[in-house]
Amino acid sequence: MRICLPVVLTKLLLVTSAVSAFATDLNSYPYVSDSPSISLRATQSEQWKLVYRFQKPIKGLRFAEPEGFVREQTWVIETPGYYFGRDGSYQVVVAAPDASLSSQLAIAVPIDTRAGMWSIEPFNIFTDTSVALYTRHFYVMLFDPDNGDYAQETLVANLEIIPKADQHVIIRGDKSYGPMSWRDPSTEGTYAYTGTLELEQLENVAMIMDPGLPKWVTSIARLSIPALIDIYAERMGRPLDTQPLVLFSYEPGDALGYHYNGRVVGDLLQLRVQGAAWEQESVQMREQLTQFIADEVVKLWGDHMTASRSGGKRRVLDVQDVFWRVPSDAEPSQGVRF
């Protein structure tokens, strides 16, 4: 006898299967729940709650990135008996001699975007208050101040990122509403986005664009980045292994000048422009922005391709003398000529 499931039940099974598959994809690098882990929780104030969890009480931690001891200036250790210290050029957290050791260490971390204080800023702020945080700044290894050796050489890079109630998390294209667990197999770090902006999927790249960017900047980015990826793939003789993700943020500020910076972490390209001068479009600034984007996109093919005018290295593609007259309200269909 043939038995047919009711239509509603069949649909429910299909939806459940799809959700399970999606959840598996999100946790493609899951970590064991009883292994050392890092929790980053967004608070309603302008800071994050950072918690390290271990299987047993710890004497200390050493951060993976030195960063000139910036952490001790603004981060606040909330676990009693622990304080910031220094081990050569590295920042450490150690327990006082008479402290009661703990298996959890809590630290309040304010949102800090000072470009000159960090080699890579721990936070990038979007104009809608979205945040992209650089994960490697929070990686640690166990540290024993009594014997000068590290109790554990392996970095703790198992993360749980908890956004605000109305926000989602995006890490390397994977998205989660609510907490996301992620293990960094490379330990090199990446940017994790928390906010309400959605991924913008173009033909060969995914982007999260700051809604506060001047319209002409957004137009150039949307037109140039996909075109540059195709051009570089042809000139390098190989396409990228994975589709890159671009995070493009904007900090207007009160400065009259204009500034920009960017970096590549794996298959993620982070771009940021700063300064009120970006509100005023000009031919010079359009060429400068296009060259900046071109110099950053090429880094997706490896650090050895980094091109810098100040460093005297030859650019793979120089757009200064190239036609670039796309109007501010341009659509991708109008094309770009390099």
Answer yes or no: is pLDDT of 214 > 60: yes
294 Cβ contact list (under 8 Å, min separation 6): 224, 228, 315, 317, 318, 319
Residue 63, strand partner residues: 140
- pLDDT exceeds cutoff 80 at 255: no
Across 44-48, 79-83, 153-157, 181-185, the highest mean pLDDT is recorded for 79-83
Q: Give this prediction's pTM.
A: 0.78
- The phi, psi pair for 114, rounded to 5°, reads -70, 110
| Structure letter (DSSP) for residue 11 | H
DSSP state of 313: P
Please report which confidence band the pLDDT of residue 79 belongs to, taking 50, 70 and 90 as the band edges: very high
pLDDT tens digits along 266-307: 889 999 998 888 998 999 899 999 999 999 999 999 853 343
Asked if CATH classification 2.40.10 holds for the domain at 37-193, the reply, yes or no, is: no
% pLDDT > 90, the chain = 53
Assess whether pLDDT exceeds 50 at residue 5.
no
pLDDT of res. 276: 86
Q: Which of 57-61, 101-105, 332-336 has the lowest mean pLDDT?
A: 332-336
Residue 253's pLDDT band (cuts 50, 70, 90) = confident
As beta bridge partners, residue 177 has 168
Do the Cβ atoms of 258 and 274 come closer than 8 Å? Answer: yes
**Mean pLDDT in residue range 84-106:** 94
Chain position carrying tokens 């069949």: 10
Q: Rounded to an integer, what distance in angstroms lies between the CA atom of residue 93 and that of residue 212? A: 38
| Segment 6-54, tens digit of pLDDT | 333 333 333 333 333 333 333 334 444 568 999 999 998 889 999 999 9
Q: Which of 204, 233, 201, 215 is nearest to 331 (CA)?
A: 215
Q: What average pLDDT does the segment 61-65 reach?
A: 91
| Chain CA centroid to CA 21, Å | 25
Between CA 249 and CA 244 the distance in angstroms is 16
Residue 44's CB: how many other CB atoms inside 10 A?
7
Kindly state the DSSP code that residue 156 receives in the 8-state scheme.
Answer: B
**Bigger pLDDT: 66 or 322?**
66
* Residue 210 one-letter amino acid: D
Q: Where are the domains of the chain?
A: 37-193, 201-334
pLDDT, tens digit, 9 for 90 and up, residues 150-177: 555 678 889 999 999 999 999 988 899 9
Name the band, by pLDDT with cuts 50, 70 and 90, for residue 246. Answer: very high
